[in-house]
Amino acid sequence: MSIPSSSSVLIRGVNIPSLALSCYLAQAGINVLLIDEESRLAKENEFVSFDSYSTDFLNEIRIKTDVNSSTKDFFKNAKEILLHKMCTVSWGTSIVRNDLGKDFQLIDLHNKIFQHQTSFFIDSEKLEINSDLNLSIKNVALFSWKIEGIINGNLNQHILTQQKIEENLLEAYALKKPNILEKFLKQKNNAFNLRESKLNLHLSQQRIIEAGDLLPNLAVFDERLKQETNFYNWCKFGEFHLLILGSTSQHNLFNVAKWIKSNFPLRLFYLPNSESNEQIFDYFSVIEGEKKLIIVRPDRYIGLILDRLDLEVLENYLANVLQLQTKGKPISQKLIGSNIIENYP
């Protein structure tokens, strides 16, 4: 098999996390080359088990999972996705020379030398978190949208500094062993969070849920479809979402939505005060007459919580904290829907 002369991302090492990252990037239109020194997949008959977060993420990138999945099944599924997106998996391939992480010499099984240029080089070992498969997939979910955003011109490369901090938080969490009482009570504060990451900003007086926490999958009534759904059906992996909780005038809502649509690749959901969504307002402690603004990151972690509808603060967060660019392709190259507000008539 011929090795391509260039790629956007070169990944060394074929394992489940690197395959997940490759499939995410490939489906975002990014050219990936995945290489491995071995001639075949390691531990291919080993059965794998995924938690709900990993399962949701993998399903989002079209990797099917079930109770009896093996590493071999995972690779077969991922390989089909990569082939469809014209991305290459090259076995028996090693790196001979690496100049500044951009220019590479690769050698294949037949000792043929290939010159290869790439924008990003990633070692699959760096994706793994303490040999914990589910934490490693979570690390991929935290990492993938940042790489995508940089390559597509939506994010500044400095965001990778915060990615390293978030990766360190995952590693610290993996080493933390809750005692028997904590396991029995399943205390909320035992859940992994990103509160210490500077990519998140908490500007709310309440602390029941904070910026950096995982968005809870609460049931919600869709005002457009007139049916029950949930937050995870709204907030897909790979996209930024803005949730506005609390009633506002149609004129104000339209102006806010138009400004957002014109400047940033966000999907907007609006929940006015209603009995149908009373549980949402109770959970986020929003009383009638008040509003709350929530930014959900592409990994479903909450980036911003604000106790008012303030476009200046929102713009500061998006442009200065995330350094999200207003030009370039939308995150995940998915078109923002023709309706300015996704769930509202």
CA proximity to 324, closest of 314, 339, 312: 314
* 156 found inside a domain: yes
Residue 261 to residue 320: CA distance in whole angstroms = 18
Residue with tokens 């929102």: 314
Task: Give 187-243 pLDDT, tens digit per residue.
Answer: 545 789 999 999 999 999 999 999 999 999 999 998 888 899 999 999 999 999 999
pLDDT score for 340:
62
Shared domain for 214 and 112, answered yes or no, is no
**Do residues 248 and 156 share a domain?**
no
Q: What is the pLDDT of residue 344?
A: 64
Looking at the structure, tell me whether residues 126 and 28 fall in a common domain: yes
Q: Which of 203, 200, 230 is nearest to 213 (CA)?
A: 200
Residue type, 322: L
Confidence (pLDDT) at 100: 79
* Same structural domain, 134 and 207: no
Of 76, 211, 80, 192, residue with least CA distance to 137? 192
Q: Does residue 134 sit in the same domain as residue 260?
A: no
3-class SS string, 320-339: HHCCECCCCCCHHHCCCCCC
What pLDDT shows up at residue 337?
43
Q: Which two tokens stand for residue 261?
A: 């649509």
| Residue type (1 letter), 107 | I
CA distances to 107, 110, 112, 344 from 92, rounded to whole Å, are 8, 9, 11, 53
Answer yes or no: do 256 and 139 share one domain.
no
Instruction: Assess if residue 191 is contained within a domain.
Output: no
pLDDT for position 179: 58
Which domain CATH number covers 252? 3.40.30.10
327, part of any domain: no
Q: What domain count does the chain have?
A: 2
pLDDT per residue as tens digits for the range 31-72: 999 999 999 898 888 999 999 999 999 999 999 988 778 999
DSSP 275: G
Whole-prediction pTM: 0.91
Q: Find out whether 151 and 30 touch, Cβ atoms under 8 Å.
A: yes
Predicted pLDDT of residue 112: 94
CB 58 within 8 A of CB 50: yes
Helix axes 16-27, 133-151, angle to 10 degrees: 30
The secondary structure element, H or E, covering residue 303 is strand 302-306
Domain enclosing residue 45, as ranges: 6-160
- Residue 12's nearest CA partner among 94, 74, 101 is 94
DSSP letter (8 states) at residue 2? P
Asked whether residue 151 is assigned to any structural domain, the reply reads: yes
Those residues of the chain that have pLDDT short of 70 are 1, 177-189, 327-340, 343-345
Task: Burial-class residue 242 by CB neighbours within 10 Å (0-12, 13-18, 19+).
Answer: buried
